[in-house]
Structure 1
Amino acid sequence: MNDKYYKALELEKIIDILKEKVSSELGLSMVEKINPFSDFEQVKTALQETTEAQSILIKRGHVPIQELHDIIDKVKRADIGATLDTKSLIKIAETMRVSRILSNLLSGEIKTETFGNAENAKTDETQLESYPIVQSLARSLYLHRDIEEAIFNAIIGEEEISDNASSELRNIRRKIVQKNQSIRSKLNSIISSTTYQKYLQEAIISMRGDRFVVPVKAEYRSMISGIIHDQSSSGATLFIEPMSIVEMNNDLRQLRLNEVEEIEKILSELSSRVGEVCRELISNQEILAKLDFIFAKGKLSIDMKAIEPNLNREQKFKIVNGRHPLIDKKSVIANTIYLGEDFSTLLITGPNTGGKTVTIKMVGIFALMTQCGLHIPADYGSNMCVYDNIFADIGDEQSIEQSLSTFSSHMTRIVNILDNVTENSLVIFDELGAGTDPEEGSALAISILENIRQVGASCIATTHYSELKKYALAKNDVENAAVEFDMDTLSPTYRLLIGVPGKSNAFEISKKLGLSDNVIEDAKNYLTGENIELEDVLQNVEKSRLKTEEELNKAEILRREAEFLKEKYDKMVEKFEGSKSKIMEDARSEAFSIIRQAKDTTEEMIKEIKKIEQEKSSKEKDRRLEDIRREIGQSMGHLQPSIESMVVPKFSQKEIKTLKPGQDVNIITLRQDGVVISADDNKKEAIVQVGIVKMTLPYKALNIVNKKEKQTVTKSTRKIMKSKSGKVKREVDLRGMNLEDAMMEVEKYLDDASMAGHEEITVIHGVGTGVLKKGINELLKKNPHVKSARPGEYGEGGAGVTIVKVK
């Protein structure tokens, strides 16, 4: 592909943005070499690389490619026997570490966690995803952890070797410290001596070169035996190394030389180990550069909110809601454009600054980005193809030196395009035929377009010429398009409309700006009848389009509302069905439990009755039978509905506004008549007497009835209410019972208390050993009648009682 056309499409600006995404010089060198592929499989692989990197970055958030260095020259020097410095070895070790981390991180399947929401409960799901290209590169990396650790253990800074680099270095440095201390101790004794203090300029220890000295007054030179190493600028002070420490300084110097020699030996050994794996490290460099480049493409894709376009082998593309990557995300207008399916040439017309050039540049840059393996900022559903060449004649390259006019410079590029275009090429023209006589320019433009069409190439062009609009209308393989213009605001909307030729808005704009009608009418007289007819047709088409678009928008709003209502209704139905199923299941489970319990109880009662039949005493027999009858009646308590469900209806009814004492009412749920004793119209409550029972009931639980309409109360209901309502106390005393008897007593009592409508009762179990209290509390946690239970407080019985709230 010819790169001289890339500048017109601004590919270099995309590459500059990509350069900012790399983490190393290695990746940067690959970005600088980027060039669009013209082979389908190469493009497909390059796009897949970017997709894998994008996916990994989204799932992991970050891939560590920092501290990656170009070490090829350094390892080649090590390979031929050179000793590397500490800085070079540190860079090599850091690069080895990056290789190891990336290999461990990327060579296997990537684990990702997702969160599902089922009935408001979060569930973690772990998924494994494979990335063939990235994983293959990561698995090809050579790992040298032993050399990496050896370098990091030996070198702790760019200029510092660790004591742990070797045992010999550790010993030498320990001796240096000891020798330093010995010399300083000796010199301290000299400078602190009263004999020598008067000869010294200052009582300090100094260094000259790598030897310890003391500052001596020049006039006392002969008083201190030693070697003069330096003097002050004034000559008043001499820096003398006393003879008593000369040998010690010599030993210290030798130790320092030994240290340097040992360090050289350590660096030489490390360099030799690096040289042994030179070829593997060079191979790693190529892989690491590729990975850095791939993840830079992934970062660019995320920043641009781009997608991988579907790639096809046909000469067609469809860009869905494409956004030019060099225009600010907040202001860019998305456009859908396609070519190659029903037509191979697209002519875009419209006013200046309407977005025509931006649109054709977007097509060109998307084609180049795709063939470079970069994602395009468009919506899913976009597809692109692979061209052998992408030609673009955009902008004015007028050359003063070559004495070329605007028209001439355009024609020079067009000639080159016509000489090299093939059936697999994409050609982009901006203002084709401009810069010369309109009549000749339009005829020439049609000829150029026809030539390209006959070759079979794809072509997009912008123009102002009406003749080209007619050409597009006449040719089956050529289509018109226009950029929309808002006549109310006299500004473009930057929306592309395919299938509609652009209308000239010069007269309308001039009229809105204040140009007189006479001038405009005179101008229309100079137009040919053909042009007037075309403009009228375009005007009618535009009106029809706007009306159709308005109707479509209304229809879309209604469709969305209908979908929303349907979705809401479906959720309600689904929720109802779910609740219904759960309630039915709970009811079945409870019924099964009740039946099983009743069966067990009945069997026990039958055994007891058979035993009583064998007894002789009629009085004792009658007493035991009465006890059993009472127990059966009490065990039926938990089968009865709650008082609330008996007295409060579950369906709406006509509201009672007022009641008076003496009125006859019907308790709806109990299906029993009663008489109003007193009523409170404000609270909507009444005290109703049913037989010997008085109940406070809400108005909504009652119906006013005439005496003749009184309904008959069922015998079973009357018996239940009679037997339970007045007899059940608000406490049960378990003291003196064993745990088994006490639990049976509490279960019976809770059934009665629930039937009697008690909201709170007291269970008296005493303190004792605590066994009875513990067992009763365990029972209360499981009993279906218990809403809550708490220990008694001061004044209620304290630790000897439990206060129970009944459902």
Structure 2
Amino acid sequence: MEQATYRTLEYDRIRAMLADCASSVLGKERAAAIAPSSDRAEVALRLAETSEAVRIAGFAAPPLGGIRDLRPMLKKVKLGAALTLDAFVDVRSFLYATRNVKEFFKALETDAPLLKEAAHGLELLGQLERSLDNAIDEHGELRDDASVELRRIRRERAAAEARIKDRISAILHAPEHQKHFQDAIVTIRDERYVLPVKAEYRRFFPGIVHDQSATGATLFIEPMAVVEAGNDVKQLTLAEQREIARILKSLSLQVQKEGATLTANADVLAQVDFAFAKARLAERMKATEPQLSDGRETKLLAARHPLIADENVVPIDIELGTRFSMLLITGPNTGGKTVSMKTLGLMVLMAQSGCFLPVAQGSQIAVYDDVYADIGDEQSIEQSLSTFSAHMTHIVAILQKAGPRDLVLVDELGAGTDPEEGAALAMAILERLLAIGAATVATTHYSELKTFAYTRDGIENACVEFEVKSLRPTYRLLIGIPGASNAFAISQRLGLADSIILRAKELIRADHAQFEHVVSDLEQQKRLYEQMNADIAERQRHAEALEKKVAAQQADLDKKKGDLIKKARQESAALVRRTRREAEDIIDQLKKQFDDQGIHARQAAMQEARRRLTEASEKARPGIVGQKHLGKKIDLKTLKPGDSVYLPKLDQKGTVLELHGKELEVQVGSLRTSVRAKDARFLGHAGAGGGETLMNGAKAPLGKAGGKHAWASAGNGGTGVYRQSGRGTTDLLGKTATARREIDIRGLMVDEAEGVLGKFIDDAQIAGLGEILVIHGKGTGALRKGVQAYLKHHASVLSYQFADQTDGGTGATVVQLK
């Protein structure tokens, strides 16, 4: 692109801002040299890289410190020169930075394929890094153990210096020499240890004079006693310097050997630093990532000129390349026309450089091959060119080079000459640019161009808003409405006589006045519609907020409903499990009694089972009156044989046969038993018809009729007493009497069949059956396999096999019970 365009749009200031955001010299150089690209794929890659850096910088700061510019050092070692210790410190810092950046991206969990791939290309030079660490300490000094020879030399030199200090100290503190010294201190001259001796006592101190004071009163003498030792120190110092030079040369050769790798690593670190510089610039500008349009569509929302302070900038919406490829902006001077045009041009340059834009989310921008700008007064005295000539020279050059994928920005088109000729020339130039197909933004004051835009497809009028009452521009860009000059209103507000303004209105052409009136009406309608749109948007936001609130409440209700259902299911499942466990305990106890323990043990077990089942039944039906409350306490004085009594423990009624003190012999069905009188309840005397006469005059329960509870009629106005029979005992006896040998489980699922079959086996055992027949059918065989797998592990099953053909063959299984 043209360098003149960069200067016109102040692109260099963006470069400077970007360089200021870089952390290293390498990053700053890359930022200062950045240039827009016209390749859409490359622009998309640049923006993607910036997007990754912005995403990473949002939660983690990359370790970019320590990146040094090694190019001068690499150039020196390439020529065979040895580097200094300071240079090696920079090289080591660079190696540390390389390792830190590589490890940072290796541990990074954020999706950043471009930057991760770049960091993956960093090559760690572990051998060189270890060599530098072994030779140079954290203060940048050469270590004593950088080599065996250096350690020996420094140790010997230290010992020689210590001997010198001891000898000089002895001379310095000798009592006979105290008056000979100017000061009782040891100093160094020409790297030799000397004493400050007064000049008049020179003869008392044989040795070498290395220096004297400015007045000549003090001589700095190296005593002969330490001269030889000083010579040794000097030789060791020279040896040390030679060994240091050898070590630095060796390290320099290692750096030279890795020169290509260091250069490649420097390029990668510069790329990473530059990417995060763009991220920092985006943060400073509060910028967002623009969408790249596939065609020529550009639509910037709330665009802010990046070089105008936040407190002064006015966001504008710019549209180009959608319904029109040319935008004609009109309006008064200092209204913001040029700033609007520069904002668009600078946004294009920034986007094509890979920078985020200070625009609202949802903005999109096209990629242009080139950007041409003719903005400002370029009058040249040296070239004898007027303002009009300078502009026209530049426009001629633009028309010769502009293509259909370029962006052309022209300020005050046709200005600086006769208005009619300038307007006609401007229309001709716009027609040419329209024919070329270049995206164009032009500013003008000519009313003829406003009409011209209405009569041509592909051109749209726009204006910068101006508040007539305050005589101030609002700097807002209004697309679709041409701007009025407002010359009369401005002049009147500034104090021009009304008579002059009235005369001016008489002189203006009628069509022009009508056009200005139409423009004014359009602007008013524009403001009205904007206000209406703002109200609608506010109502819409309110409605959306209410929808979100209702949705949240509904979600909360659904959650509470689900929690209640889940809790109820859990409680129900727990109740079922508890009931099953109790029933299984009862059945297990009953099974254990059906062995050779004897009839008494079985009866006791059955009585205990009846009691537990009765209690469970009463707990499950808390509102029903239990039968154990029937009758009243027995009075032995009135009790006679033949009277009816109720035995709660057996849950049966019986007839008194004999009385033996406090014990009764009672006939219960075919069973005769002895019970204590306190364990029985009196029902009625013998001879009462229609059942036993109760103490309250009611009839006792007559027993079960058809499996239902029966009622005795209540006499003497008494209330009937409901007697719940011993359901567990009745069921048990009923199962014994009506037990079946076979069960049909066809049509059930395996898990359903297991539950039904387990209960059937328990009932069969209680009834004393040794063999049962399970009819499961043939079908797919899934039910048969599931049933036989269940029988295989059942504790009460002795064996099982398929039934005979007469009993169903493979469609049924005969089970032998233990």
Between the aligned partners of 2:448 and 2:209, the Cα distance in structure 1 is 103
* 1:604 shift after superposition: 5.3
* 1:449 shift after superposition: 0.8
**In the TM superposition, what are the counterparts of 1:775-786 in structure 2 within 5 Å?**
none
* 1:170 shift after superposition: 2.3
Between the aligned partners of 1:516 and 1:216, the Cα distance in structure 2 is 101
**In the TM superposition, what are the counterparts of 1:661-700 in structure 2 within 5 Å?**
none
* 1:552 shift after superposition: 2.3
Partner of 1:380: 361
Between the aligned partners of 1:621 and 1:415, the Cα distance in structure 2 is 119
Partner of 2:45: 45
- CA RMSD between the two structures: 3.3
* Alignment deviations for residues 404-439 of structure 1 (CA, whole Å, 9 cap, x no partner): 332222222222222222222211111212222222
| Alpha-carbon contact 1:339-1:345 (below 8 Å) kept | yes
- Per the alignment, do residues 256 and 480 of structure 1 end up closer, same or farther by CA in structure 2, a change over 3 Å counting? same
Q: Which amino acid aligns with 2:2?
A: N
- Per the alignment, do residues 441 and 158 of structure 1 end up closer, same or farther by CA in structure 2, a change over 3 Å counting? farther
Identity among equivalent pairs (%): 40
More deviation in 335-344 or 266-275? Answer: 335-344
Q: Which amino acid aligns with 1:501?
A: P
Partner of 2:805: none
SS of equivalent to 1:347: strand
Between the aligned partners of 2:555 and 2:451, the Cα distance in structure 1 is 58
* 1:94 shift after superposition: 1.5
* 1:503 shift after superposition: 2.7
Between the aligned partners of 1:491 and 1:231, the Cα distance in structure 2 is 81
**In the TM superposition, what are the counterparts of 1:235-634 in structure 2 within 5 Å?**
235-510=216-491, 519-601=500-582
Between the aligned partners of 1:566 and 1:45, the Cα distance in structure 2 is 40
- Per the alignment, do residues 622 and 296 of structure 1 end up closer, same or farther by CA in structure 2, a change over 3 Å counting? closer
Between the aligned partners of 1:240 and 1:607, the Cα distance in structure 2 is 117
Task: Establish whether residue 2 from structure 1 lines up as the match of residue 2 from structure 2.
Answer: yes
SS of equivalent to 1:239: strand
Between the aligned partners of 2:179 and 2:539, the Cα distance in structure 1 is 108
Partner of 1:110: 108
- Per the alignment, do residues 437 and 231 of structure 1 end up closer, same or farther by CA in structure 2, a change over 3 Å counting? closer
Between the aligned partners of 1:426 and 1:628, the Cα distance in structure 2 is 95
**In the TM superposition, what are the counterparts of 1:35-74 in structure 2 within 5 Å?**
35-60=35-60, 62-74=61-73
Partner of 2:646: none
- Per the alignment, do residues 265 and 540 of structure 1 end up closer, same or farther by CA in structure 2, a change over 3 Å counting? same
* Alignment deviations for residues 137-178 of structure 1 (CA, whole Å, 9 cap, x no partner): 323333212212322332237873222322322232222222
* Alignment deviations for residues 601-628 of structure 1 (CA, whole Å, 9 cap, x no partner): 46657889999x9779x99999998899
SS of equivalent to 1:436: coil
| Alpha-carbon contact 2:589-2:605 (below 8 Å) kept | no
| Alpha-carbon contact 2:296-2:321 (below 8 Å) kept | yes
- Per the alignment, do residues 587 and 421 of structure 1 end up closer, same or farther by CA in structure 2, a change over 3 Å counting? same
**In the TM superposition, what are the counterparts of 1:124-143 in structure 2 within 5 Å?**
129-132=111-114, 134-143=115-124
Aligned residue-pair number:
621
Between the aligned partners of 1:390 and 1:76, the Cα distance in structure 2 is 39
- Per the alignment, do residues 280 and 517 of structure 1 end up closer, same or farther by CA in structure 2, a change over 3 Å counting? same
- Per the alignment, do residues 395 and 199 of structure 1 end up closer, same or farther by CA in structure 2, a change over 3 Å counting? closer
More deviation in 42-51 or 367-376? Answer: 42-51
Q: Which amino acid aligns with 1:479?
A: E
Q: Which amino acid aligns with 2:423?
A: S
Between the aligned partners of 1:2 and 1:206, the Cα distance in structure 2 is 67
Q: Which amino acid aligns with 1:105?
A: F
Structure having greater relative contact order (Cα 8 Å, sep ≥ 6)? 1
SS of equivalent to 1:351: coil
| Alpha-carbon contact 1:205-1:213 (below 8 Å) kept | yes
* 1:17 shift after superposition: 0.9
5+ long unaligned stretches in structure 2:
624-720, 723-818
| Alpha-carbon contact 1:482-1:502 (below 8 Å) kept | yes
Q: Which amino acid aligns with 2:30?
A: M
Larger CA Rg, structure 1 vs 2 = 2
**In the TM superposition, what are the counterparts of 1:629-778 in structure 2 within 5 Å?**
none
| Alpha-carbon contact 2:329-2:464 (below 8 Å) kept | yes
Give the TM-score, by structure 1 length: 0.70
Between the aligned partners of 2:209 and 2:154, the Cα distance in structure 1 is 28
* 1:27 shift after superposition: 2.4
Between the aligned partners of 1:619 and 1:411, the Cα distance in structure 2 is 124
* 1:335 shift after superposition: 1.9
* 1:454 shift after superposition: 1.5
SS of equivalent to 2:58: helix
Between the aligned partners of 1:623 and 1:160, the Cα distance in structure 2 is 97
Task: Establish whether residue 193 from structure 1 lines up as the match of residue 191 from structure 2.
Answer: no
Between the aligned partners of 1:565 and 1:147, the Cα distance in structure 2 is 66
* 1:22 shift after superposition: 1.9
- Per the alignment, do residues 277 and 480 of structure 1 end up closer, same or farther by CA in structure 2, a change over 3 Å counting? same
- Per the alignment, do residues 206 and 393 of structure 1 end up closer, same or farther by CA in structure 2, a change over 3 Å counting? closer
| Alpha-carbon contact 1:109-1:130 (below 8 Å) kept | no
* 1:306 shift after superposition: 2.4
Between the aligned partners of 2:403 and 2:604, the Cα distance in structure 1 is 120
SS of equivalent to 1:111: coil
Partner of 1:78: 77
More deviation in 192-201 or 12-21? Answer: 192-201
| Alpha-carbon contact 2:167-2:226 (below 8 Å) kept | yes
- Per the alignment, do residues 570 and 245 of structure 1 end up closer, same or farther by CA in structure 2, a change over 3 Å counting? same
Between the aligned partners of 1:606 and 1:137, the Cα distance in structure 2 is 75
Between the aligned partners of 1:503 and 1:225, the Cα distance in structure 2 is 104
Between the aligned partners of 1:338 and 1:220, the Cα distance in structure 2 is 97
* 1:482 shift after superposition: 1.8
* 1:38 shift after superposition: 2.7
* Alignment deviations for residues 677-721 of structure 1 (CA, whole Å, 9 cap, x no partner): xxxxxxxxxxxxxxxxxxxxxxxxxxxxxxxxxxxxxx99xxxxx
* 1:340 shift after superposition: 1.7
SS of equivalent to 1:485: strand
Partner of 1:208: 189
SS of equivalent to 1:189: helix
Between the aligned partners of 2:95 and 2:144, the Cα distance in structure 1 is 23
Between the aligned partners of 1:234 and 1:169, the Cα distance in structure 2 is 42
Give the TM-score, by structure 2 length: 0.70
| Alpha-carbon contact 1:301-1:307 (below 8 Å) kept | yes
**In the TM superposition, what are the counterparts of 1:6-21 in structure 2 within 5 Å?**
6-21=6-21
Between the aligned partners of 1:620 and 1:145, the Cα distance in structure 2 is 86
* 1:200 shift after superposition: 4.3
Between the aligned partners of 2:472 and 2:227, the Cα distance in structure 1 is 93
More deviation in 450-459 or 138-147? Answer: 138-147
SS of equivalent to 1:525: helix
| Alpha-carbon contact 1:394-1:430 (below 8 Å) kept | yes
| Alpha-carbon contact 1:47-1:308 (below 8 Å) kept | yes
Partner of 1:32: 32
Between the aligned partners of 1:593 and 1:205, the Cα distance in structure 2 is 97
* 1:205 shift after superposition: 3.0
* 1:50 shift after superposition: 2.5
Between the aligned partners of 2:544 and 2:104, the Cα distance in structure 1 is 45
Between the aligned partners of 1:50 and 1:171, the Cα distance in structure 2 is 55
| Alpha-carbon contact 2:345-2:409 (below 8 Å) kept | yes
Partner of 2:749: none
| Alpha-carbon contact 1:306-1:378 (below 8 Å) kept | yes
Between the aligned partners of 2:250 and 2:441, the Cα distance in structure 1 is 65
- Per the alignment, do residues 582 and 358 of structure 1 end up closer, same or farther by CA in structure 2, a change over 3 Å counting? same
5+ long unaligned stretches in structure 1:
113-128, 639-714, 717-807
- Per the alignment, do residues 163 and 599 of structure 1 end up closer, same or farther by CA in structure 2, a change over 3 Å counting? same
* Alignment deviations for residues 732-767 of structure 1 (CA, whole Å, 9 cap, x no partner): xxxxxxxxxxxxxxxxxxxxxxxxxxxxxxxxxxxx
